[in-house]
Amino acid sequence: MLNEMKYRSGAGRYAQALAGATLAAVSCLGHASTYEPAGIDLGATTFNDAFGSVAPGWTTIQLLQYEHNDKFYNNSGKNSGTFQNPSLNATIWMPQLIYTSPFHVLGGALGFTALLPVTDLNGKSGPGGEALTSRSGIGDITFGPFLQFAPVISGGRPVFAQRFEFDVIAPTGAYDPTRLVNPGSAFWSLNPYWSVTVLPTAKTEVSMRLHYLYNFTNNNPGNNLSDGPQFAQADPFVIQNFRAGQAVWANFGASYKVLPNLEVGINGFWFRQITDDSVDGVKQSADRTTNLSLGPGAELTLGHKDFLFANIYLPVVERNTYSGFHMNLRWIHAF
């Protein structure tokens, strides 16, 4: 759908041809650039993020996410008039498995993680709410090694924690270049990050996860220009390859312990595309995405091995992306 917005706004004649890549990012973990890969961690992490076990063993994280997007913004940050009654909904279950090994490197415990989204996607636009072709199913797998460091202790309590991770997003998800909404992105990406948590007092904490994203080329971007009446006037053309721009982003949160087992606070994410998308080697200079979202959150400690998080995100600043209500429920369990 954003492809159509870019096409008609003059931001790039190629944009509509990227039907297969369109909106892949909505399938997992929040808003991203129009064409950024599915599966990036945008808003899925929050309070006390940098803490983790340094003892050998297994941990699982179960994430359930719901998004309702009903606004689509152009390069100037204004709501696009291209669509009538737009709606893009996504429900995602994201199981993640984490293994911490007995080996230590540079003072940190070496581990490995993998996660795989399962998605239900649907979109509508037009006077009668015509359905846009979509494909639900398995998304792209994300995997990689990490170094988890033991927390720094001062005055008998933890005051600082950190973790480094280097993730790879593999194009294993369901992908159909003739459909506008896909769980998979059809290209590889590299996604290293650094997570840090600081505890100024015994009842307060501030966390941030800083990401960098490098995308490779989609050599099968698709050229479906007849998906419903809203695309009937588009001229047919074929492109050979597409590459999403590089990006940086941060998930952040700050919380206060109101009960021994309950913390509440504010959480958010800021995403910024730092290089242009390109189509057949031609840069799309007007299509970079910016996204800032904020909202309330809470963390409930169910025991020393179980933690439950609830987070809501609402749009603040949007450029070249879709926007709306975004909610996460996340359960962490250590075996």
What's the chain's average pLDDT? Answer: 81
Identify the pLDDT of residue 259: 97
Structure pTM?
A: 0.83
| Percent of the residues in the chain that have a pLDDT greater than 70, as a whole number | 78
- Quote the strand ranges of 176-246, DSSP E: 189-201, 204-215, 217-218, 242-243
pLDDT, tens digit, 9 for 90 and up, residues 69-78: 877 777 766 6
Residue 303 Cα distances to 236, 262, 334, angstroms: 58, 11, 10
Q: Are 62 and 331 in contact (CB under 8 A)?
A: yes
The confidence score (pLDDT) of residue 76 equals 67
Q: Please state the φ and ψ torsions of residue 27, each to the nearest 5 degrees.
A: -70, -20
User: What average pLDDT does range 187-195 have in this prediction?
Assistant: 95
Residue 11 has pLDDT above 50, yes or no: no
Are 251 and 43 in contact by the 8 Å Cβ rule? The answer is yes
> Could you tell me which residues come within 8 angstroms of residue 71 by beta carbon, excluding any fewer than 6 positions away?
79, 86, 315, 318, 322, 323, 324
Alpha-carbon distances, residue 272 vs 52, 74, 110, 153, 163 (angstroms): 28, 15, 30, 34, 22
* 124-141 mean pLDDT: 72
Is residue 24 helix, strand or coil? helix
Mean pLDDT over 242-246 rounds to 89
Residue 300 pLDDT more than 60? yes
pLDDT grade for 89, boundaries at 50, 70 and 90: confident
Pairing of β 282-284 and β 277-279: antiparallel
Nearest by Cα to 307 from 319, 299, 317, 295: 299
- Of 102-111, 118-127, 283-292, minimum mean pLDDT range: 118-127
pLDDT at 99: 98
Answer yes or no: is pLDDT of 6 > 60. no
The pLDDT value recorded for residue 130 is 58
Per cent of the chain over pLDDT 90 is 51
Average pLDDT over residues 68-95: 76
Fold of the 2-334 domain = Porin (2.40.160)
